[in-house]
C-alpha cells in the first residue's frame, strides 16, 4: 500500500489523490495533504493562522474567566436571555465555536480522512475529545443545569495546545528540509561557455552536456564535468564537508557548485540539470527523509492499536462514573481519558530523528539512502571491504620481473604488455605503464580475451601469450611448480604476481604492488573499536591478501573470490547470522553491495545515481565508512529514546 508522504498514512491506491511530480507518482489521503506537499509554504502560513486563532480564543475565554472571578460579569452571568442562556455563556459559545470549527478543521478533517481510509490516527482522538467537549459545553450553555460547566474552555485550550505543538513540529521539520533545498540555491546561475573560440555567458539552464566551460579563479563551477585544461585547487566543502581544497588537473572530475580557488580551469560538462551530483544529493536526501524506517512502521502499528484501546478505556470509565456520579462527572472523565492519552509525540519520534540524521550526514558527504539502513546499522556485526580500489588505491605499479627459459626482462614485459593492451584491469594499466617506459610502441595482439578473475590470453605472431594467476595456468596446463618459490616470496611481500607463459611455456613472473589508502588503518581501527568485525574480500590470492590484511590489521580474509562469487561470500557471512555491510566502489561491486544488508558505495564523486548502496560516500575517504555507521547508530539511538519519551 502506498504511503501519504505528508501524514504518513497508508492509503488505498484507487481512492487516493494521485499527483505526478517529476518522474514519480505520489499518493495522498486527501486534497489537504496534497496541498501541503505541493505548496508547503502556503500550508505553514495556514498553520500559523490556525494557531493565532486558537491563541486568541484562549485569551478571550481566559479573559472572560478572569472577569467572572472578579465578579465583574456577575451581572451578565445572571442576566439570562432566552431560556437559561446567560450573556456570559453566549459569549463563551461565540468565542469557542469558530475556534473549534475553523482552526480545528484541519484536525477534524484529518480524523475524517483517517476513518474513511479505515485507519485510526491521532487526529481521531483529538477531534473526538475537542468536538465532544465543545458539543457538551454548548448544550450546557443553552440548557444550564446539564453540568457541562467549563467544557468550552477546555475544548479551546486543548486545541490551542495541539495546534501549537503541530506548528512547532512542522517548522522544525521545515527548517531541516529547507537546509537541504538551500543547497540547490548555491548553484551558480550563469556559466561561461566556449563557443567557436569565443567566451559567452549563458544562463545555467542552457548549458548542455559536452559544452566547454571556462571557470576563473574564485568562481563557482557551474555544473559537473571533467577538466580539459588547467590546474587549480577546488573547495568542495559544500558537497563533501571537507574543508581542505582538492587539487584538480587534466582529467579530474569536478562537481557543480564547488568553488574554484586558484587557477583557471577549462572543463567539459558531463552532467547538467537534474543529473548533477548536487541535484541528485538533494533528491536522495529528500527521499530518505520522507522514507520511514521499519521502526516507524512499528510506531504506526502501535498508534493503530493504541487509539482503539484508548477509546475502550474511555468508554468503560464513562460507564463506571455514569453509574457512580452521574452523567456530567462521567463525561468529564471521558474527555480526560481521550485527551490525555494522546501520545502526540509518538508519531513524530522517528521522522524527526531520521530527518536530523540524514541531514547531518549530507553535510559531510555521507548519504543515508533510506531510514531502513539507519535501522540495520544497529545490528551490524561485520564490515566487508573490497580490496582493490577500496582499501588500496587501485593503482598498482610493477615492482619485480623474474624471467625464465632465456627470456630477458625487457622481452617479458613487452609480451605481457601486448597481452594486457586490450584489458582495462588496473593490473593491465600497471604493466602497460611499466612497458611504455622502455618501449615507445606496444604492438596490437591479433586476438585478445580477458578472463575475469584469472587473467588474459592473446595471440601475437604465432605466439599464444597467457598472463594471469595460478588458476589460469592450471586451466591451461602450464607447469608452474618450478617457480612456486618466487611466487611465494613475492606474495609474502603483499604483491600480486602474474605468470607469463608463451606457447604453454613459462617465461617469467611480473609482480605488481598496490598501496593501501592513507586512512585505511585509521578507519579500520575505528570500526574495530566500535566492536565490529572487519573482513577483506578479494580476487587476489590468499598469501598476498593476508599480507595486506596484516598491514591493515584486518581479522578475516576471503581471498581467491571470483568476481561473480562475491555475492556468495556475502551470503555466507549472512548465513552465519551476521548483519553485513559491504564497502565497495559501486560499479564492479554492485551485486555484492546489493546483497549486503548495508551496501556502502565509496568515492562516488558525481556518480551518485548509479549506486546501489544504502549509504553513498561522496568522498574517497575510508574514515567516512566508520562515520556513516556511527551516524546511523546514533540516529537509531535517538529514535529509540524519542519513542521512549513519547510513550512516557
Ligand atoms: P580484485 O578482487 O582484487 O578486484 P579481480 O577479481 O579483478 O581482483 O582479479 C583477481 C585476480 O585475477 C588478480 O589478482 C589477478 O591475479 C588475476 N587477473 C585478473 N585480471 C587480470 C589481468 N588483466 N591481468 C593479469 N591478471 C589478472
Ligand atoms: Mg575489483
Report the candidate in 215, 223, 214, 216 with the shortest Cα–Cα distance to residue 189: 223
Q: How confident is the model at residue 304 (pLDDT cuts 50, 70, 90)?
A: confident
Mean pLDDT of 421-434: 90
For ligand 1, mutation pick of 401, 513, 539, 568 (most atoms within 8 Å of CB): 539
- Give the integer Cα–Cα distance in Å for 356 and 98: 37
387 Cβ closer than 6 Å to some ligand 1 atom: yes
Cα–ligand 2 centroid distance for 313 (angstroms): 61
Q: How confident is the model at residue 575 (pLDDT cuts 50, 70, 90)?
A: very high
pLDDT at 345: 61
199 burial class (0-12, 13-18, 19+ CB within 10 angstroms)? exposed
**Contact between 162 and 344 (Cβ < 8 Å):** yes
| Helix (H), strand (E), coil (C) string for 437-499 | HHCCCCCCCCEEEEECCCEEEEEECCEEEEEECHHHHHHCCCCCHHHHHHHHHHHHCCCEEEE
* Atom number in ligand 1 closest to CA 588: 4
- Give the integer Cα–Cα distance in Å for 527 and 421: 39
**Contact between 530 and 630 (Cβ < 8 Å):** yes
Evaluate if residue 23 carries a pLDDT over 60.
no
Nearest CA, atom 22, ligand 1: 455
**Between residues 159 and 145, the one the model is more confident about:** 159
Nearest CA, atom 13, ligand 1: 540
To 10 degrees, what angle do helices 409-420 and 426-438 make?
130
Cα–ligand 2 centroid distance for 388 (angstroms): 5
Q: How confident is the model at residue 158 (pLDDT cuts 50, 70, 90)?
A: confident
Report the candidate in 342, 332, 306, 308 with the shortest Cα–Cα distance to residue 127: 342
Summarize pLDDT for 139-156 with one digit per residue, the tens: 888 887 776 677 888 889
Ligand closest to CA 589: 2
394 Cβ closer than 6 Å to some ligand 1 atom: no
pLDDT at 118: 75
559 Cβ closer than 6 Å to some ligand 1 atom: no
The overall pTM is greater than 0.75:
no
For the chain, give the percent of residues with pLDDT over 90. Answer: 36
**Contact between 197 and 375 (Cβ < 8 Å):** no
Report the candidate in 490, 329, 328 with the shortest Cα–Cα distance to residue 398: 490
Most confident of 180-184, 269-273, 338-342: 269-273
- Give the integer Cα–Cα distance in Å for 412 and 403: 7
**Contact between 496 and 544 (Cβ < 8 Å):** yes
Q: Which residues, 6 or more positions from 9, have their beta carbon under 8 angstroms from its beta carbon?
A: 3, 29, 113, 114, 117, 119, 121
538 Cβ closer than 6 Å to some ligand 1 atom: yes
Q: How confident is the model at residue 297 (pLDDT cuts 50, 70, 90)?
A: low
Report the candidate in 348, 385, 355, 380 with the shortest Cα–Cα distance to residue 370: 355
pLDDT at 121: 72
Q: If DSSP codes are grouped into helix, strand and coil, which group holds residue 620?
A: coil
**Contact between 547 and 444 (Cβ < 8 Å):** no
Cα–ligand 2 centroid distance for 589 (angstroms): 7
Tell me the average pLDDT of the chain: 85
Mean pLDDT of 42-68: 86
Summarize pLDDT for 99-109 with one digit per residue, the tens: 999 999 988 98
Provide φ and ψ at 633, rounded to 5°. Answer: -65, -40
For the chain, give the percent of residues with pLDDT over 70. Answer: 89
**Contact between 466 and 501 (Cβ < 8 Å):** yes
- What are the helix (H) ranges across 561-622? 566-575, 590-595
Provide φ and ψ at 326, rounded to 5°. Answer: 95, 175
**Contact between 620 and 601 (Cβ < 8 Å):** no
Whether 211 is catalytic is no
Maximum CA extent, the chain = 123
**Between residues 534 and 87, the one the model is more confident about:** 534
- Give the integer Cα–Cα distance in Å for 255 and 263: 16
347 Cβ closer than 6 Å to some ligand 1 atom: no
Cα–ligand 2 centroid distance for 639 (angstroms): 37
Evaluate if residue 74 carries a pLDDT over 70.
no
539 Cβ closer than 6 Å to some ligand 1 atom: yes
* Atom number in ligand 1 closest to CA 562: 6
Report the candidate in 51, 58, 31, 30 with the shortest Cα–Cα distance to residue 103: 51
Summarize pLDDT for 173-226 with one digit per residue, the tens: 676 666 666 777 778 888 999 888 888 999 988 999 999 999 999 999 999 999
Instruction: Name the least confident of 216-230, 344-358, 587-601.
Output: 344-358
- Give the integer Cα–Cα distance in Å for 1 and 369: 21
Instruction: Name the least confident of 379-383, 527-531, 615-619.
Output: 615-619
Q: If DSSP codes are grouped into helix, strand and coil, which group holds residue 577?
A: coil
Buried b (16+ CB within 10 A) or exposed e, 155-174: bbbbbbbbbbebbebbeebe
496 Cβ closer than 6 Å to some ligand 1 atom: yes
Q: Which residues, 6 or more positions from 16, have their beta carbon under 8 angstroms from its beta carbon?
A: 2, 4, 27, 28, 29
DSSP calls for 374-408: HHHGGGEEEEEEEIIIIIB-S--EEEEEEE-TT--
Catalytic residue among 386, 514, 597, 624: 386
Evaluate if residue 635 carries a pLDDT over 80.
yes
Amino acid at each position: 500500500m502506498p504511503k501519504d508522504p505528508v501524514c504518513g498514512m497508508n492509503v488505498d491506491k484507487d481512492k487516493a489523490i494521485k499527483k505526478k511530480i517529476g518522474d514519480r507518482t505520489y499518493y495522498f489521503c486527501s486534497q489537504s495533504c496534497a496541498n501541503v506537499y505541493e505548496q508547503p509554504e502556503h500550508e505553514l502560513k495556514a498553520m500559523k493562522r490556525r494557531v493565532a486563532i486558537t491563541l486568541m480564543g484562549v485569551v478571550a475565554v481566559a479573559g472572560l474567566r478572569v472577569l467572572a472571578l472578579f465578579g465583574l460579569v456577575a451581572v451578565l452571568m445572571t442576566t439570562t436571555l432566552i431560556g437559561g442562556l446567560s450573556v456570559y455563556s453566549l459569549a463563551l459559545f461565540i468565542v469557542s465555536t469558530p475556534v473549534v470549527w475553523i482552526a480545528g478543521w484541519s484536525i477534524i478533517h484529518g480524523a475524517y480522512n483517517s476513518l474513511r481510509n479505515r485507519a485510526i490516527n491521532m487526529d481521531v482522538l483529538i477531534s473526538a475529545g475537542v468536538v465532544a467537549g465543545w458539543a457538551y459545553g454548548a448544550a450546557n450553555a443553552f440548557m444550564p443545569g446539564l453540568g457541562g460547566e467549563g467544557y468550552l474552555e477546555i475544548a479551546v485550550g486543548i486545541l490551542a495546545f495541539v495546534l501549537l505543538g503541530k506548528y512547532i513540529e512542522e517548522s522544525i521539520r521545515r527548517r531541516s528540509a529547507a537546509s537541504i533545498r538551500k543547497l540547490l540555491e548555491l548553484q551558480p546561475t550563469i556559466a561561461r561557455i566556449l563557443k567557436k573560440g569565443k567566451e559567452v555567458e549563458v544562463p545555467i539552464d542552457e548549458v548542455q552536456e559536452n559544452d566547454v566551460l571556462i571557470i576563473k579563479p574564485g568562481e563557482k563551477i557551474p555544473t559537473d564535468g571533467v577538466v580539459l585544461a588547467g590546474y587549480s585547487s577546488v573547495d568542495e566543502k559544500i558537497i563533501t564537508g571537507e574543508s581542505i581544497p582538492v587539487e584538480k588537473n587534466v582529467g579530474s572530475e569536478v562537481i557543480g557548485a564547488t568553488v574554484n580557488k586558484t587557477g583557471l580551469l577549462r572543463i567539459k560538462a558531463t552532467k547538467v540539470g537534474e543529473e548533477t551530483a548536487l541535484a541528485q544529493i538533494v533528491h536522495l536526501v529528500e527521499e530518505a527523509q520522507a522514507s520511514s524506517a521499519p521502526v516507524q512502521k512499528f510506531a504506526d502499528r502501535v498508534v493503530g492499536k493504541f487509539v482503539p484501546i484508548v477509546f475502550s478505556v474511555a468508554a468503560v470509565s464513562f460507564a463506571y462514573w455514569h453509574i457512580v456520579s452521574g452523567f456530567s462527572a462521567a463525561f468529564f472523565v471521558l474527555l480526560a481519558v481521550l485527551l490525555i492519552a494522546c501520545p502526540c509525540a509518538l508519531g513524530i519520534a522517528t521522522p524527526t530523528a531520521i530527518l536530523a540524521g540524514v541531514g547531518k550526514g549530507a553535510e559531510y558527504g555521507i548519504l543515508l539512502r533510506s531510514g531502513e539502513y539507519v535501522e540495520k546499522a544497529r545490528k551490524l556485526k561485520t564490515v566487508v571491504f573490497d580490496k582493490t580500489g577500496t582499501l588500496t588505491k587501485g593503482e598498482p605499479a610493477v615492482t619485480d620481473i623474474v624471467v625464465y627459459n632465456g627470456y630477458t626482462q625487457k622481452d617479458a614485459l613487452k609480451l605481457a604488455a601486448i597481452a594486457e593492451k586490450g584489458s582495462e584491469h588496473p593490473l593491465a594499466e600497471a604493466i602497460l605503464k611499466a612497458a611504455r617506459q622502455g618501449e615507445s610502441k606496444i604492438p596490437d595482439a591479433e586476438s585478445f580475451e580477458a578472463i575475469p578473475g584469472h587473467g588474459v590470453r592473446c595471440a601475437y605472431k604465432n605466439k599464444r601469450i597467457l598472463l594471469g594467476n595460478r588458476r589460469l595456468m592450471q586451466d591451461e596446463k602450464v607447469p608452474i611448480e618450478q617457480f612456486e618459490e618466487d611466487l611465494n616470496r613475492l606474495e609474502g611481500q603483499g604483491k600480486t604476481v602474474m605468470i607469463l607463459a608463451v606457447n604453454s611455456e613459462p617465461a617469467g613472473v611480473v609482480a605488481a604492488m598496490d598501496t593501501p589508502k592513507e586512512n585505511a588503518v585509521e578507519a579500520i581501527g575505528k570500526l574495530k573499536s566500535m566492536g565490529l568485525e572487519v573482513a577483506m574480500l578479494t580476487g587476489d590470492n590468499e598469501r598476498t591478501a593476508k599480507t595486506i590484511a596484516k598491514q591493515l590489521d584486518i581479522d578475516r580474509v576471503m581471498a581467491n573470490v571470483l568476481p561473480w562469487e562475491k555475492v556468495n561470500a556475502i551470503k555466507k557471512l549472512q548465513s552465519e547470522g551476521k548483519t553485513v555491510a559491504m564497502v565497495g566502489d559501486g560499479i564492479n561491486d554492485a551485486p555484492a553491495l546489493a546483497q549486503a544488508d548495508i551496501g556502502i558505495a565509496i568515492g562516488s564523486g558525481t556518480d551518485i545515481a548509479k549506486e546501489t548502496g544504502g549509504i553513498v560516500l561522496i568522498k574517497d575517504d575510508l574514515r567516512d565508512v566508520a562515520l556513516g555507521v556511527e551516524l546511523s547508530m546514533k540516529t537509531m539511538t535517538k529514535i529509540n529514546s524519542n519513542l521512549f519519551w513519547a510513550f512516557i
